[in-house]
Chain A
Amino acid sequence: MKILKIFIIIFLFIGFPQSKSDEKNNELKSKILKNIRCLICQGQSVYDSESDFASSIKLIVDKKINKDVSEEQIYEFLKEKYGDWIIYEPELNKKTYILWLLPLLLFLFGGAIIYKTIFKKKNE
Protein backbone atom coordinates (compact mmCIF):
# COMPACT_ATOMS: atom_id res chain seq x y z
CA MET A 1 0.00 0.00 0.00
CA LYS A 2 2.85 2.31 0.92
CA ILE A 3 4.61 1.49 -2.32
CA LEU A 4 1.43 2.25 -4.23
CA LYS A 5 1.21 5.65 -2.56
CA ILE A 6 4.83 6.42 -3.46
CA PHE A 7 4.12 5.39 -7.07
CA ILE A 8 1.09 7.67 -7.22
CA ILE A 9 3.09 10.60 -5.82
CA ILE A 10 5.94 9.99 -8.30
CA PHE A 11 3.43 9.69 -11.15
CA LEU A 12 1.77 12.97 -10.16
CA PHE A 13 5.11 14.76 -9.93
CA ILE A 14 6.36 13.46 -13.27
CA GLY A 15 3.13 13.23 -15.22
CA PHE A 16 1.41 16.45 -14.22
CA PRO A 17 3.95 19.01 -15.46
CA GLN A 18 4.36 17.02 -18.67
CA SER A 19 0.64 16.95 -19.39
CA LYS A 20 0.49 20.65 -18.61
CA SER A 21 3.25 21.42 -21.10
CA ASP A 22 1.51 19.17 -23.65
CA GLU A 23 -1.65 21.16 -23.13
CA LYS A 24 0.26 24.41 -23.60
CA ASN A 25 1.87 23.07 -26.79
CA ASN A 26 -1.52 21.95 -28.12
CA GLU A 27 -2.97 25.39 -27.45
CA LEU A 28 -0.06 27.05 -29.23
CA LYS A 29 -0.36 24.60 -32.12
CA SER A 30 -4.09 25.33 -32.53
CA LYS A 31 -3.43 29.06 -32.37
CA ILE A 32 -0.76 28.88 -35.07
CA LEU A 33 -2.71 26.52 -37.32
CA LYS A 34 -5.79 28.75 -37.16
CA ASN A 35 -3.66 31.66 -38.35
CA ILE A 36 -2.23 29.77 -41.34
CA ARG A 37 -4.11 29.79 -44.61
CA CYS A 38 -4.55 26.50 -46.45
CA LEU A 39 -3.19 27.60 -49.80
CA ILE A 40 -4.92 24.94 -51.84
CA CYS A 41 -8.32 25.22 -50.14
CA GLN A 42 -10.96 27.90 -50.50
CA GLY A 43 -11.35 30.05 -47.42
CA GLN A 44 -10.07 27.44 -44.97
CA SER A 45 -7.31 27.58 -42.43
CA VAL A 46 -4.83 24.75 -42.10
CA TYR A 47 -6.53 23.94 -38.78
CA ASP A 48 -9.87 23.31 -40.51
CA SER A 49 -8.52 21.52 -43.55
CA GLU A 50 -7.86 17.82 -44.07
CA SER A 51 -5.96 18.27 -47.34
CA ASP A 52 -2.49 16.77 -47.88
CA PHE A 53 -1.00 20.25 -47.85
CA ALA A 54 -2.64 21.07 -44.52
CA SER A 55 -1.61 17.79 -42.90
CA SER A 56 2.02 18.36 -43.98
CA ILE A 57 1.95 21.85 -42.49
CA LYS A 58 0.39 20.45 -39.29
CA LEU A 59 3.26 17.96 -39.01
CA ILE A 60 5.88 20.66 -39.60
CA VAL A 61 4.32 22.97 -37.00
CA ASP A 62 4.09 20.09 -34.53
CA LYS A 63 7.76 19.18 -35.04
CA LYS A 64 8.85 22.78 -34.64
CA ILE A 65 6.82 23.29 -31.46
CA ASN A 66 8.33 20.14 -30.00
CA LYS A 67 11.77 21.54 -30.83
CA ASP A 68 10.85 24.71 -28.87
CA VAL A 69 10.81 26.91 -31.96
CA SER A 70 8.93 30.14 -31.20
CA GLU A 71 5.62 31.13 -32.79
CA GLU A 72 7.29 34.02 -34.64
CA GLN A 73 10.00 31.76 -36.03
CA ILE A 74 7.38 29.31 -37.30
CA TYR A 75 5.56 32.14 -39.10
CA GLU A 76 8.87 33.39 -40.53
CA PHE A 77 9.69 29.89 -41.79
CA LEU A 78 6.33 29.57 -43.52
CA LYS A 79 6.50 33.09 -44.95
CA GLU A 80 9.93 32.36 -46.37
CA LYS A 81 8.54 29.28 -48.12
CA TYR A 82 5.13 30.57 -49.24
CA GLY A 83 5.12 34.34 -48.86
CA ASP A 84 3.11 36.64 -46.56
CA TRP A 85 -0.15 35.28 -47.99
CA ILE A 86 0.06 32.13 -45.88
CA ILE A 87 -0.53 34.09 -42.68
CA TYR A 88 -4.08 35.29 -42.08
CA GLU A 89 -3.06 38.28 -40.02
CA PRO A 90 -0.79 40.41 -42.20
CA GLU A 91 2.01 42.42 -40.58
CA LEU A 92 2.24 46.17 -40.94
CA ASN A 93 4.97 46.72 -43.52
CA LYS A 94 5.45 48.74 -46.70
CA LYS A 95 3.41 46.24 -48.70
CA THR A 96 0.46 46.20 -46.32
CA TYR A 97 0.28 49.72 -44.91
CA ILE A 98 -2.59 50.68 -47.25
CA LEU A 99 -4.50 47.64 -46.03
CA TRP A 100 -4.08 48.75 -42.42
CA LEU A 101 -4.47 52.50 -42.88
CA LEU A 102 -7.30 52.62 -45.42
CA PRO A 103 -10.09 51.67 -42.95
CA LEU A 104 -8.81 54.30 -40.54
CA LEU A 105 -8.66 56.94 -43.26
CA LEU A 106 -12.14 56.03 -44.49
CA PHE A 107 -13.43 56.22 -40.92
CA LEU A 108 -11.92 59.68 -40.44
CA PHE A 109 -13.17 60.82 -43.84
CA GLY A 110 -16.70 59.55 -43.11
CA GLY A 111 -16.60 61.11 -39.66
CA ALA A 112 -15.55 64.44 -41.16
CA ILE A 113 -18.46 64.35 -43.63
CA ILE A 114 -20.98 63.50 -40.88
CA TYR A 115 -19.55 66.20 -38.61
CA LYS A 116 -19.66 68.77 -41.39
CA THR A 117 -23.25 67.87 -42.31
CA ILE A 118 -24.47 68.11 -38.72
CA PHE A 119 -22.52 71.31 -38.11
CA LYS A 120 -23.93 72.86 -41.29
CA LYS A 121 -27.48 71.87 -40.33
CA LYS A 122 -27.06 73.34 -36.86
CA ASN A 123 -25.81 76.62 -38.33
CA GLU A 124 -28.75 76.81 -40.68
Chain B
Amino acid sequence: MKNNFILFTIIMSISFCFIVFYKGLNNSNTYIPSISDTKNIPIFEAKDFNSNAYLNSEKIFEEDIFYIVNIWASWCVPCRTEHPLLMRLSKNQSIKLIGLNYRDNLNNAKDFINEFGNPYSQIIIDNDGTLSVEFGAYGVPETFLIDKNKNIIRKFVGPINQEIADKIKLIIK
Protein backbone atom coordinates (compact mmCIF):
# COMPACT_ATOMS: atom_id res chain seq x y z
CA MET B 1 0.00 0.00 0.00
CA LYS B 2 2.81 2.37 1.04
CA ASN B 3 4.87 1.45 -2.05
CA ASN B 4 1.88 2.10 -4.29
CA PHE B 5 1.44 5.53 -2.75
CA ILE B 6 5.11 6.41 -3.31
CA LEU B 7 4.93 5.16 -6.92
CA PHE B 8 1.76 7.16 -7.51
CA THR B 9 3.36 10.32 -6.05
CA ILE B 10 6.46 9.91 -8.23
CA ILE B 11 4.42 9.37 -11.38
CA MET B 12 2.21 12.35 -10.58
CA SER B 13 5.24 14.60 -9.93
CA ILE B 14 6.95 13.54 -13.18
CA SER B 15 3.70 14.06 -15.12
CA PHE B 16 3.26 17.49 -13.58
CA CYS B 17 6.82 18.51 -14.48
CA PHE B 18 6.37 17.14 -18.00
CA ILE B 19 3.16 19.12 -18.55
CA VAL B 20 4.70 22.34 -17.18
CA PHE B 21 7.82 22.07 -19.36
CA TYR B 22 5.89 20.90 -22.42
CA LYS B 23 3.56 23.88 -22.15
CA GLY B 24 6.59 26.15 -21.64
CA LEU B 25 8.04 24.99 -24.97
CA ASN B 26 5.24 26.71 -26.84
CA ASN B 27 5.62 30.00 -25.01
CA SER B 28 7.49 32.90 -26.51
CA ASN B 29 10.98 33.53 -25.12
CA THR B 30 10.22 37.19 -24.70
CA TYR B 31 8.04 38.11 -21.79
CA ILE B 32 5.84 41.08 -22.53
CA PRO B 33 3.85 42.42 -19.60
CA SER B 34 0.34 43.36 -20.60
CA ILE B 35 -0.74 46.97 -20.28
CA SER B 36 -3.11 46.57 -17.34
CA ASP B 37 -3.44 50.22 -16.48
CA THR B 38 -3.43 52.86 -19.15
CA LYS B 39 -0.36 55.04 -19.25
CA ASN B 40 -0.04 58.60 -20.36
CA ILE B 41 2.19 59.32 -23.31
CA PRO B 42 5.65 60.41 -22.20
CA ILE B 43 6.57 64.07 -22.26
CA PHE B 44 9.49 64.52 -24.62
CA GLU B 45 11.20 66.67 -27.19
CA ALA B 46 12.38 65.16 -30.45
CA LYS B 47 13.88 66.18 -33.78
CA ASP B 48 11.59 66.31 -36.78
CA PHE B 49 12.62 63.97 -39.59
CA ASN B 50 12.12 66.51 -42.38
CA SER B 51 12.92 69.89 -40.88
CA ASN B 52 15.35 68.86 -38.10
CA ALA B 53 13.47 71.27 -35.83
CA TYR B 54 12.73 70.23 -32.28
CA LEU B 55 9.13 69.35 -31.51
CA ASN B 56 7.59 68.63 -28.16
CA SER B 57 5.09 65.89 -27.44
CA GLU B 58 2.26 68.35 -26.78
CA LYS B 59 2.66 69.76 -30.28
CA ILE B 60 2.88 66.30 -31.86
CA PHE B 61 -0.26 64.97 -30.15
CA GLU B 62 -2.22 68.22 -30.14
CA GLU B 63 -5.35 67.02 -31.95
CA ASP B 64 -8.29 65.39 -30.21
CA ILE B 65 -8.07 62.14 -32.17
CA PHE B 66 -6.53 58.67 -31.94
CA TYR B 67 -2.84 58.37 -32.71
CA ILE B 68 -0.63 55.48 -33.67
CA VAL B 69 3.04 55.66 -32.79
CA ASN B 70 4.98 53.28 -34.98
CA ILE B 71 8.63 52.60 -34.28
CA TRP B 72 10.44 51.77 -37.50
CA ALA B 73 13.85 51.76 -39.16
CA SER B 74 15.06 51.31 -42.71
CA TRP B 75 17.30 48.40 -41.65
CA CYS B 76 14.37 46.56 -40.07
CA VAL B 77 13.07 43.85 -42.39
CA PRO B 78 9.73 43.22 -40.58
CA CYS B 79 9.01 46.97 -40.95
CA ARG B 80 8.75 46.39 -44.70
CA THR B 81 6.08 43.73 -44.26
CA GLU B 82 3.91 45.92 -42.04
CA HIS B 83 4.33 49.06 -44.16
CA PRO B 84 1.47 48.38 -46.62
CA LEU B 85 -0.89 47.93 -43.65
CA LEU B 86 0.28 51.24 -42.20
CA MET B 87 -0.31 52.87 -45.58
CA ARG B 88 -3.89 51.57 -45.51
CA LEU B 89 -4.41 52.67 -41.91
CA SER B 90 -3.16 56.17 -42.72
CA LYS B 91 -6.14 56.64 -45.06
CA ASN B 92 -8.45 56.50 -42.05
CA GLN B 93 -9.47 60.05 -41.11
CA SER B 94 -9.98 59.37 -37.41
CA ILE B 95 -6.38 58.42 -36.77
CA LYS B 96 -2.96 59.96 -37.26
CA LEU B 97 0.23 57.98 -37.58
CA ILE B 98 3.41 59.21 -35.94
CA GLY B 99 6.60 57.50 -37.07
CA LEU B 100 9.49 57.13 -34.68
CA ASN B 101 12.63 56.48 -36.70
CA TYR B 102 14.78 54.25 -34.48
CA ARG B 103 18.60 54.24 -34.57
CA ASP B 104 18.73 54.81 -38.28
CA ASN B 105 20.79 56.48 -40.96
CA LEU B 106 18.78 59.50 -42.09
CA ASN B 107 19.49 59.02 -45.81
CA ASN B 108 18.55 55.34 -45.67
CA ALA B 109 15.37 56.25 -43.80
CA LYS B 110 14.48 58.83 -46.46
CA ASP B 111 15.12 56.26 -49.20
CA PHE B 112 12.83 53.83 -47.36
CA ILE B 113 10.01 56.39 -47.22
CA ASN B 114 10.51 57.31 -50.89
CA GLU B 115 10.42 53.67 -51.92
CA PHE B 116 7.52 52.39 -49.81
CA GLY B 117 5.49 55.57 -49.26
CA ASN B 118 4.89 57.75 -46.23
CA PRO B 119 1.99 56.72 -43.98
CA TYR B 120 3.04 59.11 -41.21
CA SER B 121 1.70 62.59 -40.61
CA GLN B 122 4.85 63.29 -38.62
CA ILE B 123 8.15 61.47 -38.26
CA ILE B 124 10.43 62.05 -35.31
CA ILE B 125 13.99 60.85 -34.88
CA ASP B 126 15.22 58.63 -32.09
CA ASN B 127 18.95 58.33 -32.73
CA ASP B 128 19.98 56.67 -29.48
CA GLY B 129 16.84 54.66 -28.68
CA THR B 130 16.11 56.57 -25.48
CA LEU B 131 12.81 57.95 -26.77
CA SER B 132 11.63 54.41 -27.48
CA VAL B 133 12.45 53.50 -23.88
CA GLU B 134 10.24 56.42 -22.76
CA PHE B 135 7.41 54.68 -24.62
CA GLY B 136 8.32 51.34 -23.06
CA ALA B 137 9.41 49.80 -26.36
CA TYR B 138 11.63 46.76 -26.83
CA GLY B 139 12.87 47.44 -30.35
CA VAL B 140 11.57 47.65 -33.90
CA PRO B 141 8.92 47.38 -35.17
CA GLU B 142 6.57 48.29 -32.40
CA THR B 143 3.26 50.07 -32.45
CA PHE B 144 1.35 51.98 -29.79
CA LEU B 145 -2.27 53.03 -29.96
CA ILE B 146 -3.03 56.29 -28.18
CA ASP B 147 -6.56 57.38 -27.38
CA LYS B 148 -8.10 60.85 -27.36
CA ASN B 149 -7.11 61.33 -23.70
CA LYS B 150 -3.47 60.80 -24.70
CA ASN B 151 -3.25 57.42 -23.01
CA ILE B 152 -1.38 54.47 -24.45
CA ILE B 153 -4.14 51.88 -24.64
CA ARG B 154 -2.51 49.16 -26.75
CA LYS B 155 1.01 48.04 -27.45
CA PHE B 156 1.85 45.72 -30.34
CA VAL B 157 5.34 44.24 -30.27
CA GLY B 158 6.58 43.11 -33.68
CA PRO B 159 5.12 43.85 -37.09
CA ILE B 160 1.41 44.51 -37.24
CA ASN B 161 -0.67 42.10 -39.29
CA GLN B 162 -4.17 42.24 -40.74
CA GLU B 163 -5.67 40.98 -37.48
CA ILE B 164 -4.04 43.79 -35.48
CA ALA B 165 -4.99 46.37 -38.11
CA ASP B 166 -8.62 45.20 -37.87
CA LYS B 167 -8.45 45.41 -34.08
CA ILE B 168 -7.16 48.99 -34.30
CA LYS B 169 -9.92 49.94 -36.74
CA LEU B 170 -12.51 48.45 -34.37
CA ILE B 171 -11.18 50.44 -31.41
CA ILE B 172 -11.08 53.78 -33.22
CA LYS B 173 -14.56 53.38 -34.71
In the complex, the chain B residue whose C-beta lies closest to that of A39 is B138
Interface size on A, residues (CB 8 A): 17
Interface size grouping (class) on chain B: 10 to 19
The answer on a CB contact under 8 Å between B31 and A52 is no
The answer on a CB contact under 8 Å between B129 and A63 is no
Q: How far is the CA of A56 from the CA of B142 in the complex (A)?
A: 15
Q: How far is the CA of A53 from the CA of B136 in the complex (A)?
A: 11
The answer on a CB contact under 8 Å between B39 and A80 is yes
Main secondary structure of the interface of B (DSSP, over half): loop
Main secondary structure of the interface of A (DSSP, over half): helix
Q: Does A17 sit at the interface, judged by CB under 8 A?
A: no
Q: Does A66 sit at the interface, judged by CB under 8 A?
A: no
Q: Which residues of A contact B135 (CB under 8 A)?
A: 81
The answer on a CB contact under 8 Å between B130 and A59 is yes
Q: Which residues of B contact A55 (CB under 8 A)?
A: 128-129
Residues of A within 8 A of B (CB): 39-40, 42, 52-53, 55-57, 59-60, 63, 80-85
Residues of B within 8 A of A (CB): 29-31, 33, 39, 103, 128-130, 132-136, 138-139
Task: Give 26 CB contacts A-B under 8 Å.
Answer: A39-B30, A39-B31, A40-B138, A40-B139, A42-B29, A52-B103, A52-B129, A53-B129, A53-B139, A55-B128, A55-B129, A56-B128, A56-B129, A56-B130, A56-B132, A56-B133, A57-B133, A59-B128, A59-B130, A60-B130, A81-B133, A81-B134, A81-B135, A84-B33, A85-B31, A85-B33
